[in-house]
């Protein structure tokens, strides 16, 4: 599995998470409201990346992901 940077845009901001999957398509087929990034946006910093990676596997965010439209 590979880690992919994703975002959920809620209009006035977004939630950024890494998700492990076999492909970006696997993520978008499961979570249709997420955007998957092949490369991070130009403004994405190392500290943002560290924060997003630290959420990988976190029970709170796993529960949040399970509440998204499928």
Res. 8: pLDDT tops 90:
yes
Domain segments of the chain: what residues? Answer: 2-66
The Cα–Cα gap between 17 and 56 comes to 7
The Cα–Cα gap between 23 and 60 comes to 23
pLDDT digits over 13-68, tens only?
A: 899 999 999 999 999 999 999 999 999 999 999 999 999 999 998 999 999 999 98
Q: Are 7 and 34 in contact (CB under 8 A)?
A: yes
What is the pLDDT, as a whole number, of residue 70? 78
């Amino acid at each position: 599995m590979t880690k992919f940077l994703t975002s959920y845009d809620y209009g006035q901001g977004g939630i950024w998470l890494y998700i492990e999957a076999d492909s970006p398509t696997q993520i978008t087929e499961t979570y249709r409201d997420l955007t998957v990034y092949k490369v991070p946006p130009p403004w994405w910093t190392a500290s943002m990346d560290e924060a997003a990676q630290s959420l990988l596997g976190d029970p709170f965010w796993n529960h949040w992901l399970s509440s998204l439209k499928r």
